[in-house]
């Protein structure tokens, strides 16, 4: 069962959850200034909403967690419309990092035998997937110890909401003394581009080249421009 309330105790981890910001971009790749927002603020610049159903993380910018715990944090995106009323493709980036009790950076790649933190959707954990996999309707563009890049495969019309791209974070039971009073940071950045001429918009704004089917569903992405067939 996911723990939803503050749990204090020996070896507690302070989970600092922040919403980094959101941008909307039109076909010409003009991007509105990213909005800085606390986790309790859903409305972002240019008509993006990051929605959630997790009351504790919604109410607090940081909660105490314990090794071995599984904590609910549910996030999806919504095309809220506003000044820019158009269908859009969405990109979500999850940033995560650790600081020790003295606020020094902790390199988790040095502990290959321990998966310190495991963001997940239902029973699918991002440390078990790779680029090209699809998780709950989100295409994994990149994943490593500190960053998860996701693309919603379908364009969202104004008022439409995506499926969840994260639903919880599990912490390893065997974190060890090095993680005593450590801080785990979990940030989200959302970007959207107009669906009309979406492939060109994604190339100029996001730096990726999508392959889409006849229905406009993204089936793969690449950072290299495909070679045109002769």
Return the DSSP state at 227.
P
pLDDT at 14: 62
Distance, in Å, from the CA atom of 42 to the CA atom of 24, rounded to the nearest integer, reads 15
What are residue 49's DSSP bridge partners?
43, 78
Mean pLDDT, range 125-140, rounded to an integer: 97
Q: Is the pLDDT of residue 6 over 70?
A: no
Band of residue 13 on the pLDDT scale cut at 50, 70, 90 = low
* Each residue's pLDDT tens digit, 15-45: 655 555 555 543 332 233 322 222 222 233 3
DSSP string, 29-90: --BPPPPPB-TT--B-GGGEEEE---HHHHH-SEEEE-TT-EEEEEEEEEE--SSS-S-EEE
pLDDT at 50: 63
Distance, in Å, from the CA atom of 170 to the CA atom of 5, rounded to the nearest integer, reads 15
* Each residue's pLDDT tens digit, 136-174: 999 999 999 999 999 999 999 988 989 999 998 898 888
Q: CB–CB of 226/212 below 8 Å? A: no
* Top mean-pLDDT range of 51-65, 146-160, 168-182: 146-160
Pairing outcome for strands 13-25 and 183-194: parallel
Sign of CA dihedral 194, 197, 202, 205: negative
């Amino acid at each position: 069962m996911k723990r939803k309330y503050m749990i204090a105790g020996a070896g507690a981890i302070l989970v600092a959850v922040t919403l980094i910001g959101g941008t909307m971009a039109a076909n010409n790749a003009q991007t509105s200034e990213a909005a800085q927002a606390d986790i309790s603020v859903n409305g972002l610049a240019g008509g993006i909403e990051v929605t959630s159903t997790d009351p504790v993380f919604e109410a607090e910018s940081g909660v105490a967690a314990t090794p071995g715990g599984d904590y609910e944090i549910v996030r999806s995106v919504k095309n809220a419309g506003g000044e820019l009323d158009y269908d859009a493709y969405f990109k979500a980036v999850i940033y995560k990092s650790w600081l020790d009790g003295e606020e020094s950076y902790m390199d988790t790649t040095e502990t290959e035998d321990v998966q310190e933190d495991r963001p997940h959707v239902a029973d699918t954990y991002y440390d078990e997937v790779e680029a090209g996999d699809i998780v709950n309707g989100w295409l994994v563009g990149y994943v490593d110890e500190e960053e998860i890049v996701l693309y919603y495969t379908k364009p969202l019309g104004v008022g439409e909401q995506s499926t969840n791209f994260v639903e919880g974070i599990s912490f390893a039971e065997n974190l060890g003394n090095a993680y005593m009073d450590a801080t785990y940071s979990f940030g989200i950045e959302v970007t959207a581009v107009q669906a009309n001429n979406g492939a060109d918009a994604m190339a100029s704004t996001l730096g990726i080249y999508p392959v889409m089917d006849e229905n406009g569903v993204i089936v793969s992405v690449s950072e290299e421009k495909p070679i045109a067939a002769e």
